[in-house]
Structure 1
Amino acid sequence: MKLINPHVISEGGVQYPLGTLNGQCILYDFEKILVYLDAKGKLLFGKKFRIYEEDREVLFKLSNYQIRDWDMCKKLKIDLNKGLLLSGPVGCGKTSLMKLLRFITPHYQPYDVIPTRNIVFGFNHLGFKVMEQYGDHGFYCFDDLGVEPTGRHFGKDCNVMGEILLSRHELFTKTSGLNFKISKIVKTHATTNLNAQELEARYGNRVRSRMRELFNLVAFDKKTIDKRR
């Protein structure tokens, strides 16, 4: 169903305009996006949630990606055909922001945020059909990539997320190479606490190479505080 005013979002009886309509285009206002994200965050995660001033740079990149501002993303060196890999220290707010980000564009296909450990636990119980499930055409954000345990099904070890990323890359290559509309390109997002070297050690050079093609890297500062304390 097409939304009449996708730039105006209602939460708890309150309307949050994220910008203005100019014909069929939405002119987004970053400050209004922050107001909405703060309000939505409190609804989802509790009253203690807040948007931190030191996170503005990261949020600016994430927001411009999500609203598909081609000109700004070009300046920021973000490829809108790729997904997002949001990295940063433990507790900096990666998962919360990726859960929130999808709400600012209700007229776009949302992605599901799935903890990688849950995927591996599913593999251990159900086997390779779990890998097939997440290697499909769905839009996913794999949360806490790189810290999940090794999969084991009927005595056979498997680097579950490594195999899924290879499948996701194959789908991405097929859909992005067929001049599909951006909404039809199979996107993969992820969050991680690991750096590039640690990811390569976890998944190997082949997967790490595919990840460069799959993702735009958006990183928190290494000194970002643990907001859960």
Structure 2
Amino acid sequence: MDNPSRIIEGGVEYSLGKFDGKCVHYNFPKILIYLNAKGKILFGNKFKIYEKDKKVLLKLCYYFIKDKENCKRYGIDPHKGILLSGPVGCGKTSLMKLIPCIVPSQPAYEMIPSRNVTFSFNHIGYKAIEDYGDSKSFCFDDLGVEPAGRFYGKDCNVLGEVLLSRYELYLKTKRKIKTHATTNLNAEELEERYGNRVRSRMRELFNLIAFEKNTKDKRK
């Protein structure tokens, strides 16, 4: 019988907790050991988990392992997606690629740079909004700093339209198909970028998990 509390990476077995035959009782320090090792595999030997980021990591882990009690404690709705916000270079993209690795049995989402969605719209028009607004789970990276959309002389707030479509999909699938995103912008800046209607839908689509404003740029 498979033991979902154990993961093998590079010939090394990592324990994430204890499996009682029905469910995994996760151990956060053990999860951190695995994530640190997996991060080095994915992003290189310079990758490390910072003490200051552990609260963000903890919330993300509770969300992805579907720990209902701790999700409730931190005000996280497991049916919604994640909007991970924080300063440039704080590690948002890396974490959204890394954390789902602790639950390999769960359906994966595709990481898409938000600018690529706009580039696609500028090339093929409104079909791009249909493509990204339907059926698959996505994580839109760097939401809010993508260039303007323009197709045959007509301007379009592309990601705003995609998010409205994702909201309709979220309702239609009874909240089963989720949308995730990372952003450098705060709530006011997102509203300025996409408008009040989209911002309102974002509240229903996303759990906001935020790094501290003074989190340093790890790429420097």
Verify same fold: TM over 0.5.
yes
Cα distance in structure 2, aligned partners of 1:151 and 1:205: 19
Identity level (%): 64
Is 2:182 aligned against 1:197? no
Q: How many residues align?
A: 220
Q: Which runs of 4+ in 1 moved over 6 A?
A: none
In structure 2, the partner of 1:223 is: 214
Aligned-pair distance for 1:27? 0.6
In structure 1, the partner of 2:67 is: 69
Quick one: which amino acid aligns to residue 217 of structure 1? L
SS of match in other structure, 2:172: helix
Quick one: which amino acid aligns to residue 142 of structure 2? D
Please give the per-residue CA displacement for 1:200-227, whole angstroms capped at 9, x wherever unaligned.
0000000000000000000000010111
Superposition RMSD on alpha carbons, in Å? Answer: 1.1
User: Contact between 1:102 and 1:111, CA under 8 Å: does it hold in 2?
Assistant: no
The answer to which of 11-20 and 63-72 deviates more is 11-20
Please give the per-residue CA displacement for 1:43-94, whole angstroms capped at 9, x wherever unaligned.
1111000000000000000000000000110111100010000000001100
In structure 1, the partner of 2:139 is: 141
Using the size of structure 1 for normalisation, the TM-score is 0.94
Instruction: Tell me which of 152, 164, 172 is aligned to 2:162.
Output: 164
Aligned-pair distance for 1:107? 0.8
In structure 2, the partner of 1:182 is: none
Cα distance in structure 2, aligned partners of 1:146 and 1:29: 35
Cα distance in structure 2, aligned partners of 1:63 and 1:57: 10
Q: How does 1:1-229 map to 2 (within 5 A)?
A: 4-176=2-174, 185-229=176-220
Quick one: which amino acid aligns to residue 120 of structure 1? T
- Gaps spanning 5+ residues in structure 2: where? none
Please give the per-residue CA displacement for 1:86-106, whole angstroms capped at 9, x wherever unaligned.
000001100000010111101
Please give the per-residue CA displacement for 1:107-130, whole angstroms capped at 9, x wherever unaligned.
111111110001111111122222
User: Contact between 2:114 and 2:141, CA under 8 Å: does it hold in 1?
Assistant: yes
Using the size of structure 2 for normalisation, the TM-score is 0.97
Aligned-pair distance for 1:7? 2.1
